[in-house]
């Protein structure tokens, strides 16, 4: 038979174990206690009593002292070891002061003489159970403090599940949280964690969450859920004989649902368990709400940090603008002279092939220096360059050709895995060449002095993007430096050997053409820089 229990429903009284080798005493106490609503089990000696305490949820023991096999004193000591929360009232017809003192020292609640005064013993039972309830509630409170102390959900939820099993004397527990879309999802399960159990708990939780929007009351289900009002259609899960479904709410807002279950051998949940759950779940709800607020606070702090970072970035860019203006003035004039003389020499006669090639290199590299200065100005002032379809492989091969002397001199082996039919992307070929050259030279510097130094470059298409990866087997990037790699003026090189502008300028160029760049450490050692560009639409059906 199924039972639906609300918070305000009547409460069945506690289970009492009567232990006595005299059948008449056992029958009399069982009858009188049963009339007053107590659940009663009996045992003829201490050994049998201990077996029942291990299997059933006993809250109070009334035991004789003199019994065969295991007497009351031995049994009392064992009970306080295996079930310290159980209260024990000792009784005997041959009591002494010394015996009573010994029983109290071993943890007995009280000591009474036979024959019993029933009114006296019932009054004593009520006081003992009140003490037991206070001890249980104190345990719930102490457990709640541990829950409240956790502030991050990944740490909090497994802790809640574990403590729920302990506090509510359950075999399994499941916690579900409400997502922003108003749907429950299973976050953690303890004691039992399989697909069937999660689906069962989710079905119960969804019904409880719907009901919580009305009366907000938890439910105890002892037996098949489909026989309980509001839970029709949910089949009984084998292995669960009793469960408690408790909505976790703050005011009218349902944050989630806690379900706890007991197996076939355990006692069903009672209103007393529900009362304990009410205290515990109020703390759980507060802890989950605090964790959500903390998560929101972390998000806001991260947003503030990003705003600060952007502000610092803007200030650095303003400084770059001033530097770039000076560079443009100081470098462009000498470059113009170099290019002019180189061009004049190329037009003059009398040059052999090698001389002409050398002067052509001087002219092209001077022109490239001018473009770099222009790019620096564009980066600092966010001036958009003219866009055109670019053959990325051509820009990459040009960058490799320019860096070949440096790579060979450093003993770096370059391996390439380049798809030859890559589509075009929109951008500036000179700027792309600058980005690739920067990444190649960064890798060369990371490989400085390494035996077996290798730079691997991959280029491939992935859906609507063209991807390039620059992988080296160098020293890698300290994890704490990865977030700062693209900050202007950040460099780990010795003074005078790096400006900290190469990667920020490269990222600015890439972002200008709607691309992305990411840095990470390579498994097995070294670093990886991944560049992604959206494919030029007109080239999506084939190569450039």
Give the separation between CA 232 and CA 224, rounded to whole angstroms: 9
Each residue's pLDDT tens digit, 503-513: 888 888 898 88
Give the Cα separation of 177 and 187 in Å (integer).
7
**Residue 94 is assigned to a structural domain of this protein:** yes
pLDDT at 17: 93
Question: What's the domain count of the chain?
Answer: 3
Q: Residue 424's domain is classified under what CATH number?
A: 3.30.565.10
Token couple for 452: 């077996």
Give the residue from 506, 509, 511 showing the smallest Cα distance to 529: 506
Predicted pLDDT of residue 440: 93
Enter the tokens of residue 205: 């939780």
Residues 8-32, mean pLDDT to the nearest whole number: 79
Based on the domain organization, do 151 and 292 belong to the same domain?
yes
Which residue range(s) make up the domain with 85? Answer: 4-132
CA pair distance 197, 173, nearest whole angstrom: 10
pLDDT above 70 for 382: no
Same domain, 43 and 165: no
Q: What is the pLDDT of residue 457?
A: 95
C-alpha 244/C-alpha 221 separation (Å) is: 6
Say if residue 65 is in the same domain as residue 157.
no
Please state, for a pLDDT cut of 70, what percent of the chain lies above it.
83
Question: Residues 510, 519: contact at Cβ < 8 Å?
Answer: no
Question: In this predicted model, what pLDDT tens digit does every residue of 350-362 receive, in sequence order?
Answer: 788 888 888 888 8
Based on C-alpha coordinates, what's the Rg of the chain?
A: 39
Q: pLDDT per residue over 114-173, tens digit each? A: 887 888 888 888 888 877 776 666 666 665 665 665 667 787 888 888 888 888 888 999
Mean pLDDT of the chain: 81
Residue 10 belongs to domain with CATH number: 3.40.50.2300
Q: What pLDDT shows up at residue 4? A: 39
Q: Domain check: are 421 and 523 in the same one?
A: yes
Q: Which helix (H) or strand (E) holds 173?
A: strand 172-178
**Which one has a higher pLDDT value, 124 or 308?**
124
- Tens of pLDDT, residue by residue over 479-522, are 888 888 887 777 776 654 555 677 888 888 898 888 999 999 98
Q: What is the mean pLDDT of residues 273-286?
A: 83
- Backbone φ and ψ for 151, nearest 5 degrees, come out as -120, -15
Asked if pLDDT for residue 441 goes beyond 70, the answer is yes
pLDDT of amino acid 211: 63
Check residue 375 and give its pLDDT.
Answer: 60
Place of tokens 């001199």: 409
Task: For residues 126 and 151, state if they share a domain.
Answer: no
Same domain, 101 and 22: yes
Percent of all residues in the chain with a pLDDT value above 90, rounded to a whole number:
19
Reported pTM: 0.46
Under 8 Å between Cβ of 467 and 516: no
Q: Which two tokens stand for residue 369?
A: 């220096």
């Amino acid at each position: 038979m199924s039972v639906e229990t609300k918070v305000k429903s009547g409460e069945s009284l506690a289970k009492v174990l009567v232990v006595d080798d005299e059948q008449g005493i056992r029958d009399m106490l069982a009858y009188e206690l049963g009339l007053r609503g107590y659940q009663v089990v009996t045992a003829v000696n201490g050994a049998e009593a201990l077996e029942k305490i291990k299997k059933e949820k006993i809250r109070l023991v009334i035991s004789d002292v003199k019994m065969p096999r295991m007497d009351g004193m031995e049994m009392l000591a064992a009970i306080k070891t295996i079930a310290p929360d159980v209260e024990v009232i000792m009784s005997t017809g041959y009591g002494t002061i010394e015996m009573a003192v010994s029983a109290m020292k071993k943890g007995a609640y009280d000591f009474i003489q036979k024959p019993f005064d029933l009114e006296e013993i019932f009054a004593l039972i009520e006081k003992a159970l009140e003490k037991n309830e206070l001890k249980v509630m104190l345990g719930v409170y102490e457990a709640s403090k541990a829950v409240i102390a956790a502030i991050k959900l990944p740490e909090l939820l497994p802790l809640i599940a574990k403590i729920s099993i302990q506090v509510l004397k359950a075999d399994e527990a499941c916690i579900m949280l409400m997502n922003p879309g108003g749907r429950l999802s299973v976050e953690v399960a303890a004691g039992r964690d399989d697909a069937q159990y999660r689906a069962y708990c989710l079905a119960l939780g969804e019904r409880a969450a719907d009901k919580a929007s009305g009366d907000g009351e938890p439910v105890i289900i002892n037996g098949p859920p489909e026989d309980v009002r509001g839970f029709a259609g949910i089949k009984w899960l084998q292995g669960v004989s009793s469960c408690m479904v408790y909505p976790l709410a703050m005011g009218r807002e349902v944050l989630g649902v806690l379900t706890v279950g007991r197996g076939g051998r355990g006692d069903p949940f009672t209103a007393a368990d529900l009362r304990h759950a009410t205290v515990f779940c109020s703390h759980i709800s507060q802890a989950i709400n605090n964790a959500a607020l903390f998560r929101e606070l972390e998000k806001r702090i991260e947003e503030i940090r990003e705003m600060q970072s952007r502000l610092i970035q803007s200030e650095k860019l303003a400084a770059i603008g001033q530097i770039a203006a000076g560079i443009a003035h100081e470098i462009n004039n000498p470059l113009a002279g170099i290019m002019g003389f180189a061009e004049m020499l190329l037009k003059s006669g009398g040059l052999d092939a090698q001389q002409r090639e050398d002067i052509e290199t001087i002219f092209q590299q001077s022109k490239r220096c001018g473009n770099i200065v222009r790019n620096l100005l564009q980066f600092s002032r966010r001036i958009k360059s003219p866009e055109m379809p670019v053959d990325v492989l051509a820009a990459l091969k040009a960058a490799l050709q320019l860096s070949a002397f440096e790579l060979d001199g450093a003993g770096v082996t370059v391996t390439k895995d380049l798809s030859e039919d890559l589509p075009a992307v929109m951008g500036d070929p000179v700027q792309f060449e600058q980005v690739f050259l920067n990444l190649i030279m960064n890798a060369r510097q990371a490989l400085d002095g390494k035996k077996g130094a290798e730079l691997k470059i991959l280029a491939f298409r992935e859906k609507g993007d063209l991807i390039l990866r620059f992988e080296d087997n160098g020293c890698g990037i300290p994890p704490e430096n990865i977030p700062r790699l693209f900050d202007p003026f950040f460099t780990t090189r010795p003074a005078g050997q790096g400006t900290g502008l190469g990667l920020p300028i490269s990222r600015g160029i890439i972002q200008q053409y709607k691309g992305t760049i990411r840095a990470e450490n390579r498994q097995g050692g070294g670093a990886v820089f991944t560049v992604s560009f959206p494919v030029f639409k007109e080239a999506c059906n084939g190569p450039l």
